[in-house]
Amino acid sequence: MKKIILVGAGGHAKSCLDIIKSTKKYRILGFIDNDKSKTIDKYKVIGGDNYLKNIKSKKNINIAITIGQIKNYKKRNELFLKIKRLGFKIPKIVSRYALISDKSSILTGTMIFHGVIINYGVKVGENSIINTSALIEHDTKIGSNTHIATKATINGGVKIGSNTFIGSGSVIKEGVEIGDNCIIGMGSIIKKDVKNNSLIK
């Protein structure tokens, strides 16, 4: 089994841990977090922010970023870039309970949660989160460092930029384009294009 370290030990990390365990591909070494008293399941915090720099055999260890992204995309993105610079692998991780078309493309660092459906021709960028029971329909394009939250429905041919958050239960009409750095609030129904840096409550 491949070795993996999880960066972040908050609430989101608990769901990520479940997904990683479901793949049966990884031996979990522990969490990185500045609160060393934390334990999730049987897994402990093994170090703080500087721990990864001191690991010598970086090529043999995978990293999963297990902090969430709702109001601020920057921390997750900065971590992703930092970990890549250090030379670690950041694999895509797909729950064994997700349904993913073999005609889709999912890039490194992206995590696909339980119950997700991703259909034909979908492309998802790096370091994104497709959260529990989200539906991503055919030919949709999703950028990097974007979070599609629980039970969101993204209909066919939608384009979603990078660093964007789509809230739980939102529905995006087919063919709509949503820009970069946007926040679409929980339960939104989006029928028209959304410009970069937009906030929809």
| Per-residue pLDDT at 20 | 97
Domains and CATH numbers, the chain: 2-91 (3.40.50.20), 93-191 (2.160.10.10)
Residue reference for tokens 């041919």: 157
Question: What's this model's pTM, rounded to 2 decimal places?
Answer: 0.95
| Per-residue pLDDT at 58 | 84
| Per-residue pLDDT at 49 | 82
Q: What are phi and psi of 54, to 5 degrees?
A: -90, 0
Chunked mean pLDDT (size 10), the chain, 201 residues: 95 95 96 92 92 87 90 88 94 97 98 98 98 98 97 98 97 98 97 98 90
